[in-house]
Amino acid sequence: MTLIKTSIGRRSFIKSSALAGGGMMLGFSWLASCKDEAAREAALAMPDEWFEINGFLKIGDNGVVTIMSPNPEIGQNVKTAMPMIVADELDIDWERVIVEQAPLNLDIFTRQLAGGSQSIRQGWQGLRLAGATARQMLRQAAAQAWEVPVEEVTTSEGMLHHEASGQSAGYGEMASAAAALEVPEEVALKEPKDFTIIGTDRKNVDGPKIVKGEPLFGLDVQRDGMLIAMVAHPPAFGMKLKSVDAESVKSMPGIRDVFPIVVYPEGAERQWSDGGAIPEMVAIVGESTWECMQAKKALQAEWEADGTLESTAYHEEELDRLLATAPEKPAREDGNVQRAFAQAAKVVESTYSAPFLAHNTMEPMNFFAHVTPEKAELLGPIQTPEYLENTLVSVLGMPKEKIDVMMTRMGGGFGRRLYGTFAVEAAMISRKMQAPVKLVYTREDDMTQGTYRPSYKIHYKAGLDEAGNLIAWHVRGVGTNDDLVFENRFPAGAVDNYLAEKHALPTLVTTGAWRAPRSNFIAGAEQAFMDEVAEAAGKDPIEFRLELFDRAIKDPVGDPETNDYDPERYAGVLKLVREKSNWEAGPPSGLSRGVAAYFCHNSYVAQVMDLKVEANTPKVEKVYCAVDCGIVINPLSAKNQVEGGIVDGIGHATFSALTFRDGRAEQSNFDTYRLIRNAEAPKSIETYFVDNGIDPTGLGEPSLPPIQGALANALYKATGTRYYEQPFFGERRIIG
C-alpha cells in the first residue's frame, strides 16, 4: 500500500456546488455493461439526494455514484477509462456508476485537453487520488458512526464493513457524513495487484446512446430560438475578403442575415489554438441548415490575394531544394558521419515523402454559442476548452466568470479540434445576431479550410561495416511549417556516428497537429529505411533492430538521459511481436510479411503485417501488434484504439492526399479525397500488451505511426518494389 500526500491534488478537491446538479443538456450516460435492462435500471435508480464528496464524484443516498469525466471525449474512450480509475480506488461496483462529461472547470480539474495521448498518463494520479480520498472519507464517517478505529473499517464494492462488531453499511448511508469531513492529508492508494476495475473489459459508457442515435454530438444540439450559421471563408490560403454582395442572398428563403464579420479584431490576443484563424469572413444566418447551404452557394463575394497563392508543385520544389541545399544545421551530432561513410563497406540512402492530409473528422466542425451582454454559453466539440475560453476573453472582452464552455461528445478529433477557431466564429456571430446560433461547416468547408498535417520529405543515409554493423546514420528532414525530425529518438544512442538535421519551409497553408504529429510520417519512413539497411547488412530485420537496442542498453552513445526512449521496453515489444507472429516460421503461404516498431507519446509499439497485393491494391490479411503502454485501464477499448490506429495508418499511407493549386485545396469531399473503406481494412488484428505494472501511458496515437513502415516493408516483400512516396496507391500527385 502506498501512502500519497493529497496536498498536490488539493486544488481538485475544492467543493464546488456548480457541479452538484451536473446538468449539461446532454445529461448522463447509461452504462452498457448490465445485460438485464431491468436490473440496470434498478441499480441506477436516481437517489433522493446527492452528496458531493469532491469535484470528481458525488454519491447518492442509495449508493449510486456519479463520476465526472474531466477530459474531452473524441473517440479515444477516456469517458469510460478515466471514471474507471476513480471507481477502482473508490472501491465501488461499476454497475452503479453514472458517468457525466464535466464542463470546463479548472478550479477542480487539471489539463482538460484531448491531445498528445496524455489524458490517462497525466490524469492517472489525480483520478486515483479522487477515488481514494473519497473512500477514506467514507471509512472515517463509518468509523465515527460506529465508534471504532478507522483502520478497522474495510470496504468492498460500495459497502463499508467492521468485522469485529459485525457492522456494515452502504456508501449511500455514510455519504452525507463523509461529505462534511475535511479532506484527509494522506491517503493510501491500491497496489496494482488489488485493482478490480482497472485492467478489466468495460464497454463504452455512451454505447447505448450511440447505437440508438440519441443526441450526443455538437451537431445534434438544438435549442429554442436557435439559428443556424454558416461562414464563407476565403477560398484559398493567401486570400482575404475584398467585398461581398450580401443583399442579394438576404432575401432567400429562411435567411435572417448575411454580413461580413471580423472574428479576430485587430489586437485580439490569440492562443496557440488560434494558429490558423481567419480574421474576416462572411456569415450567413438562417432558420435551417439546408437554407443556409443554398444561400452560401448563391453568395457572391470577391476575394483578393493577400500573399503568395501556393501550389503543390511549389511546395514539392521548395522541399526538394531545402533537402538538397539547405546549409548543414545539426540538431544532434555524435561522432563524425562523413568520416564513417568514407570508411563504410556499404552505404545505403533513400528519400521518402508524404503529402498534406486533412483530418476529416466524420462530424464536421460546428459549435453552439449563445452570447448576451451578461453571459457567453459555448457548447460543442472542442479538444482545447481552456484555450478557447482564453481566446473568448480577448475577442468578446468578457471575464472568464461570464463564459461557460461545455464539451459534447465529438465525432472524431485527430487533432483538428485542438484549433477551435470555429467556436470563436460561432460566439462572434451569436453576439452580432443577439441570438443562440449553431455554426455548421459543410464537408467542403471542413476539408478545404483545415489545419492540415504538413507535407514532408526526409532523406536517410546509413553506413555499414564489413560485418554488417551500423556505423553511421544521417537523417535530414524537411516539412511545410514543420521541421519534422526528433533528433533524440532511435537510432540516436545506438550508433557511433549520427547526424540529425531539420528544416522547415514556411507556407501560408495552415498546418497543425494531426494524430501522432510528425511520428505519423517519420516512423514509417525510418522503419522502411531500417528494413533496407537490414537487407544490405544481410540480417533479419528484427535481429538487426535488436542488435541496435542491445547497443543502446549496454553502451549508449551520448548521454543516455538525452535519448528519448527506453531501449529495453523498445526491444520488449519487438520480442513479443516476434513470438506472437511466429516470425521465424515466416508468413502463411501466399502472403508477404513486414515488421516495424516505434516509440512515441510515451508508448512502445511493434507490428508485423501479412498481406498480398491483388489488382494493384494491398489486401492486409493480418496484423500482429505488441504494445507497451504500462498498465492498461480497459483492454476492450485499448484494443479498439490500437485497431483504429492501424486502419488509420494503413489508409492514409495507401490512399490519401490533399493537394493545392493557387492556394486552393484541390480535394473538397470524399469523392476526390480517398479514405480507407471497409473492404480495404485488415481481415484481423491481434493485439498483445506487455504486462509490466508501469504507470499507464497513452494509446490514442502510438499504434498509427509504425504500421506505415510495416506496410511498406510487407509491400516490398510482395512486389520487390520499395514504396517511398505516400500515398502508395493513391492517384499520383500531379506536379505543375
CA dihedral for 122, 518, 454, 327, sign (positive or negative): positive
Is residue 214 involved in binding other proteins (CB under 8 A)? Answer: yes
Under 8 Å between Cβ of 414 and 364: no
From the CB of 444, what's the least distance to other proteins, in Å?
8
**Options 125-133, 307-315, 594-602, 644-652: segment touching other proteins (CB under 8 A):** 644-652
Where in 190-267 does DSSP place strands (E)? 227-232, 239-245, 255-262
Nearer to other proteins, 253 or 307 (CB): 253
One-character DSSP codes across 328-348: P-EEEEES-HHHHHHH-SEEE
Give yes or no for a contact between 32 and 204, defined as CB atoms under 8 angstroms apart: yes
Interface size with other proteins, residues (CB under 8 A): 68
Minimum CB distance to other proteins smaller for 41 or for 302: 41
Backbone angles phi, psi at 378, to 5 degrees: -120, 130
C-alpha 156 chain-centroid distance: 35
227-232 and 186-189 strand pairing: unpaired
Residues 434-453 contacting other proteins, CB under 8 A: 442-443
How far apart, in whole angstroms, are the C-alpha atoms of residue 523 and residue 231? Answer: 37
How many angstroms separate the CA atoms of 62 and 477, rounded?
60
Q: Is 119 in the site for other proteins (CB under 8 A)?
A: no
Classify residue 67 by burial, with Cβ atoms within 10 Å: 0-12, 13-18, 19+.
buried
Query: Binding to other proteins by residue 701, rule CB under 8 A?
Result: no
Please pick, from the candidates 12, 22, 29, 32, the single residue that binds other proteins as defined by CB under 8 A: 32
Cell match 477509462: residue?
A: 81
Question: Of 84-92, 153-161, 497-505, 638-646, which part binds other proteins (CB under 8 A)?
Answer: 638-646
Residue placing its CB nearer to other proteins in the complex, 30 or 146 = 30
Q: Does 635 interact with other proteins (rule: CB under 8 A)?
A: no
Q: Does 41 bind other proteins (CB under 8 A)?
A: no
Nearest CA-CA partner of 410 in 357, 448, 365, 445: 365
In the complex, minimum distance from the CB of residue 638 to other proteins, in angstroms, rounded to a whole number: 11
SS3 assignment, position 630: coil
CB of 699 to other proteins, least distance (A): 12
Candidates 122-130, 215-223, 314-322, 327-335: pick the segment binding other proteins (CB under 8 A): 215-223
Nearer to other proteins, 12 or 408 (CB): 408
Say how far apart CA 253 and CA 291 lie, in whole Å. Answer: 7
Of 616, 580, 643, 608, which Cα lies nearest the Cα of 713? 608
Count CA within 13 A, CB hemisphere, residue 295: 32
Q: Given the complex with other proteins, which of 288 and 721 has the nearer CB atom?
A: 288
Residue closer to other proteins, measured from CB, 289 or 469 = 289
Q: Is the CB of 584 or the CB of 671 nearer to other proteins?
A: 671
**Using the rule CB under 8 A, is 677 a contact of other proteins?**
yes
**Residues 290-319 vs other proteins: string with x where CB under 8 A?**
xx-xx-------------------------
Between CA 659 and CA 657 the distance in angstroms is 6
Specify the 3-state DSSP secondary structure of 692. coil
Task: Establish if 362 lies at the interface with other proteins (CB under 8 A).
Answer: yes
Copy the grid coordinates of residue 247: 443583399
d(C-alpha 563, C-alpha 331), whole Å: 13
Which of 158/286 has CB closer to other proteins?
Answer: 286
Question: According to CB under 8 A, which residues from 392 to 431 bind other proteins?
Answer: 409-414
Beta-sheet pairing, 376-380 with 366-371? antiparallel
Q: Identify whether the C-beta of residue 249 lies closer than 8 Å to the C-beta of residue 189.
A: no
Pick from 175, 685, 699, 710 the residue near other proteins by CB under 8 A: 685
List the strands of the sheet with 617-628, edge to edge: 592-600, 603-614, 617-628, 684-689
The least CB distance from residue 434 to other proteins, in Å, is 21
Residues in 65-104 that interact with other proteins by CB under 8 A: 74-77
Grid cell locating 354? 508524404
- Rounded to a whole number of angstroms, the minimum distance from the CB of residue 650 to other proteins is 8
Question: Is residue 718 at the binding interface for other proteins, with CB under 8 A as the rule?
Answer: no
- Region of residue 480 (phi > 0: left; psi between -120 and 50: alpha; otherwise: beta): beta
Q: Does 288 bind other proteins (CB under 8 A)?
A: yes
CB 463 within 8 A of CB 340: yes
**Residue 203 in contact with other proteins, rule: CB under 8 A:** yes
Find the part of the chain contacting other proteins (CB under 8 A) among 96-104, 274-282, 362-370, 466-474. Answer: 362-370
- By CB under 8 A, residue 242 contacts other proteins: no
Toward other proteins, which CB reaches closer, 533 or 620? 620
> Which segment (296-304, 305-313, 490-498, 680-688) binds other proteins by CB under 8 A?
680-688
Please choose, from the candidates 474, 465, 471, the residue with its C-alpha nearest in 3D space to the C-alpha of residue 500: 474
b/e for 559-581, b at 16 or more Cβ within 10 A? eeeebebbbebbbbbbbbbbebb
Query: Applying CB under 8 A, does 508 fall inside the site for other proteins?
Result: no
Compute the distance between CA of residue 404 and CA of residue 392 in angstroms, rounded to an integer.
10
CB closer to other proteins out of 216 and 475: 216
Residue 42: how many other CB atoms lie within 10 Å: 10
Instruction: Examine residue 148 and tell whether it contacts other proteins (CB under 8 A).
Output: no
Question: Hey, which residues does 509 pair with through a beta bridge?
Answer: none
Shortest separation between residue 437's beta carbon and other proteins, angstroms: 14
Q: For the CB of residue 669, give the shortest distance to other proteins in the complex, in Å.
A: 6
How do beta strands 660-661 and 617-628 pair?
A: unpaired
Query: What gap in Å lies between CA 231 and CA 250, rounded to an integer?
Result: 14
Among 47, 234, 493, 645, binds other proteins (CB under 8 A): 645
* Range in contact with other proteins (rule: CB under 8 A) among 93-101, 180-188, 506-514, 675-683: 675-683
In the complex with other proteins, which residue's Cβ is closer, 353 or 656?
656
Q: How does DSSP classify residue 360?
A: -
Residue whose entry in the numeric block shows the C-alpha cell 432575401: 251
Residue span binding other proteins (CB under 8 A) among the ranges 166-174, 454-462, 519-527, 672-680? 672-680
Residue among 454 and 645 whose Cβ is closer to other proteins: 645
Residue 335 makes contact with other proteins by CB under 8 A? no
Beta strands, E only, 544-667: 592-600, 603-614, 617-628, 660-661, 664-665
Q: Toward other proteins, which CB reaches closer, 219 or 608?
A: 219
We find the least distance from the C-beta atom of residue 709 to other proteins, in angstroms, to be 18
> Is residue 211 involved in binding other proteins (CB under 8 A)?
yes
Q: How far is the CB of 671 from other proteins (least distance, A)?
A: 5
Minimum separation from the CB atom of position 430 to other proteins (A): 18
Q: Which residues bind other proteins (CB under 8 A)?
A: 32, 37, 74-77, 201, 203-204, 206-208, 210-217, 219-220, 222, 228, 253, 288-291, 293-294, 360-364, 409-414, 442-443, 636-637, 640-641, 643-648, 651, 669-671, 675-679, 681-685
